[in-house]
Each structure stands twice: as C-alpha cells, then as structure tokens.
Structure 1
Amino acid sequence: MHTKDKIVQLADVLIRTKGCNAFSFGDISKALQIKNASIHYHFSTKTALVRAVIQQHGALLLKFKGRVAEKGPLEKVKLFLSTYTMARSGGKISILGALASDYLTFDEAIQLELRMLTDGTLLWLMETLQEGKDEGEFNFTSDAKTKAQMVITNILGAEQLSRVTGQGDFKKAQAAIIRDLINRSI
C-alpha cells in the first residue's frame, strides 16, 4: 500500500473513532512513523485529506449500488443496513454518522463533499424504498424521501447511541427498521 493510501486509511479510522476535529496530521505521522511533510506532500491541508476520505466512501457507495442492483428491495435494504454493522467494527461508526454532527464546523469544501455523499445515499435509499412500496414489499404511509430520511436518521442515531448502550441495541434497531418497512398492519 502506498503512503498516500495509508494516510487516507488512517484518517478514515481516526474520523470514525475519534471524530474529524479530534485528530491532526501529527496523529497520523506518529502512527505511520512518517514526517508531517510526507502527509503535506499528498494533502496540503486537512480539508484535502478529509475530502479524500469522503470521496473514498463515495466510491464505496457506487460499488455497493452496483453489487446490489439486481437484488430485490428488501434484500437491498438489509444489505445497506448491514454496511452500518460492518462500519462499526473496531469501535468505528459510519462516515455519515462521524461527520454529520460536525457539519457546521467544516469549511465549504468538506461540506460540499459530505452533502454529495449524503444526497447519493438518500437518493439511492429513496428509490429503493419506492421500488419496494410499488412492488408491495414495503408498507409505509409517508413519501419515499421522508421514509429514507427516517431510516438514515434512525440508523445514524442507533450507531451513536449503541456506543453507550452496546452492540445488541444497534442490531435491535436494524431489525426494527426492517419490521417497520414490511409491517402489513398499517
């Protein structure tokens, strides 16, 4: 792995464990045993580094969408929610969960990257939920956009809260989201 990739990978871990505003280039240089100048060679600013991390997650979202494109809506949503379980390994949370609460502290370049990732995630989920509703697989009364926002806020909240209450609560929240989508008694 090249130094640039190691820097992005470590920054991703630090953002998703400590928070974006709680790490510095010094943390990265110490962990990778390189000089700060080596980081600045690849990323002139922390903004450039954080943007690279968010862009990496955008690329992962595109891969995910391609991998699940032929699956049914329920399977797509289950796989989507499972990515949040995987994101939680090693005490981490999802990139959206890690960055959303600090959004107003970021400069415009990071805000734009984060909006694009968030919009891409919400749009895909909204389309998937609408597909499931149209096919009779999902049963919800709100419009698909509102439901997608509710699913995302529930999963982001669950990952934050389960840092305090435990992994079991996170899994229960995921299961409740699925039950709510397929509930036929509404």
Structure 2
Amino acid sequence: MKAIDVVYSVLAQSNISTIVREVIASPLPAYQRHALVQNIEQCISTCEGALDDGYQVQDLPRVLGGKGTLLDVFKSYARTLEEQYKMTLQEYIPLQNAVDAATYGYAERRNITIEESMVDGMHVVVFGMKGYIQPLFVLYACQDGSFSWKQNISLAPRVKEELPAYYQNCKMLRVMIEYVAKEHSYEINAKK
C-alpha cells in the first residue's frame, strides 16, 4: 500500500469526510462552506507534499504540528471542523429579501449565482459563477434597497474599474450582472 493510501485510510477513520460532506450539503453560502473545508484541504496537501519530500507516514503528525498518531491529529482536525461548522450554522440566518425575484432569474439565466445572508450583523449579497466555489464579489444590501461594495474578491482589475461601487436598486444591479457575465463568459461557458 502506498504511503498516500495509508494517509487516506487514516483520514477515513477520523470522521473528517463525514463532516466535510455535511458541510458541503449544508444551506450555508458557498464561500462559507469553502472557508470551513479549506483547512482540511490544506492538511491533505501538506501530507502529500511531505510524502513527496521523503517524509514517512509516521512523521506526518509532527509535520502537521500535532501530537500523537496521525489518527489523533486527524481526529483533532475533525473536532475543530465540527465545532466551527456548528458555530457558523448557528450564526447563519438565510435571507432572501434584498434581491428581487426578477434579478435572481436574470442572474440565473447568465449562470451567475446569488446568495444572501447575515455576516457580522450585515446583510450581504454574494455573487458567484455556477460551478465555482469562490465568489466573484460581495455587496452590502442597504435598508433603502440599494447595494454597495463590501469587498471585491476575484474580479479582474479591468472589470473592477468599470463597475460603480454603489447600485441604487435591483434594476441597476441587473446591469452590473450583465456586464460581469459578459466579462467572465469564458469561465462561465467552461463550466456548462
């Protein structure tokens, strides 16, 4: 049995994969699900890299900064992930009232996803591309029905320069969605 197969076997014993599946199937927005499982992905990547560098399976707990056996370290990761997931799920309040149905439909026809939630007490609208976990950008949903930038996550600089930082209403939001869909048409069409 290859060393990496041993790692995956121990990983399966730790309950991590069950928790990861639960996180992925949860109602949380994609960006939150991704953030939760990112540490596990990094852990596996670190194990693979260490094995490629000549470390043995028994060295991996030390490489990962843990104590005990590899199973002990993975179980610790599983507990941490489960605690973070439960905490995030308790704080999650799904919202679907800032963006109107017409805008949801408009975005869906262009393979743009929209997710709304409360983050740190603020109503945010997360825009992404179907098939991608990483969001394109996030907007604040203001009480007056307008939208403004929270932060820009992964739009290209030329796209950022073309987009205003404030949208008066959903109609203006649809104009922005159209522009972003055209600018990212290659990536969107690649995932169809």
TM bucket (normalised to shorter chain) is: under 0.3
Higher helix content, 1 or 2: 1
Higher strand proportion: 2
Larger radius of gyration: 2
The TM-score normalised by the length of structure 2 is: 0.26
Q: Which has the higher contact order (CA 8 A, sep 6+)?
A: 1
